[in-house]
Amino acid sequence: MAVAATAMARSGRSRRSMVTSKKVTELAFLPARLPQRMETDVDTNVPFCDRILVFYDKRRSERMGKQLGVELVVAALVSACVPPPPAQLAPKTTRTNRPVQEIAQIASQTLAASGFEIVTSDAAGGVVTARRHRATTGNSEFVSCRYKRNSIAESSMETTLTVTVAAKANAGNSDAIVSSSVRAEFPSLTGALKMAPSDTDCASTGSVEARILDAIRGS
């Protein structure tokens, strides 16, 4: 009986080893096999990274998405394809002899003329905050993102550029600080294509900040 139990234990370990080996082998070959199968399942004119996601989304209904490591492989392939995020723009500062109230007024006018919605305006405190929300590449004049041109991410994104101008009196002059942030969202993407909002995948190009500073300086 002891011999039989030992044999059964060995057999169990052997089967588990075979299964594990099979899964590891399968995982090792998945990156090479995914693109081959995609050729017949997904439009080859679509960028490679997007084809991976579209293919995976289609196969989930066939339960392929439950196979060991598929999610990890897809994530690894996509991560390898996506460029690094752009560097976030540091706040810009200028000193002027204009009073803080005038700086706030100039900033509001410049932002409104650039298509921004004024969210808060405190002329007495010298603070103005404005946002510009656009779909797809509507903010491309002011925003740079990591997504490839014509990719699913770029075609589905909505970006919100928020700019804040804060002026403070300083020894008879005024210091104006212009800062910005960009949030990217993808409300239309679902399933395997779902992407979480990001505050780092896009950044301001500095165009509107330069516009505001030039207007404050009077140039």
State which H helix or E strand residue 111 sits in. helix 100-113
| pLDDT exceeds 50 at position 18 | no
Q: Are residues 182 and 101 in the same domain?
A: yes
Q: Are residues 32 and 114 in the same domain?
A: no
Please say whether the beta carbons of 82 and 74 come within 8 A.
no
pLDDT computed for residue 67 by the predictor:
53
Q: Domain limits at 175?
A: 92-217
Q: Are residues 14 and 111 in the same domain?
A: no
Q: Are residues 37 and 99 in the same domain?
A: no
Q: Are residues 31 and 103 in the same domain?
A: no
Q: Are residues 63 and 158 in the same domain?
A: no
- In order of 59, 68, 118, the CA distances from 113 in angstroms are 48, 54, 11
More confident residue, 91 or 152: 91
Q: Are residues 52 and 123 in the same domain?
A: no
Residue-wise pLDDT tens digits, 39-63: 445 555 555 555 655 665 555 555 5
Q: What are phi and psi of 134, to 5 degrees?
A: -145, 155
The answer as to whether 99 is a domain residue is yes
Instruction: Give the up-direction half-sphere exposure of residue 87: CA atoms within 13 A in the CB hemisphere.
Output: 4
Whole-number Å distance between alpha carbons of 5 and 152: 56
Dihedral through CA 151, CA 130, CA 93, CA 107, nearest 10? 130
Q: Are residues 153 and 111 in the same domain?
A: yes
pTM for the complete prediction? 0.67
**Per the structure, how many domains does the chain have?**
2
Q: Are residues 98 and 184 in the same domain?
A: yes
The answer as to whether 87 is a domain residue is no
The answer as to whether 137 is a domain residue is yes
pLDDT computed for residue 191 by the predictor:
81
The answer as to whether 86 is a domain residue is no
| CATH number of the domain that residue 184 is part of | 3.30.310
Q: Are residues 134 and 114 in the same domain?
A: yes
Residue-wise pLDDT tens digits, 145-156: 988 787 788 888
Residues 6 or more apart whose CB falls under 8 angstroms from that of 17 comprise none
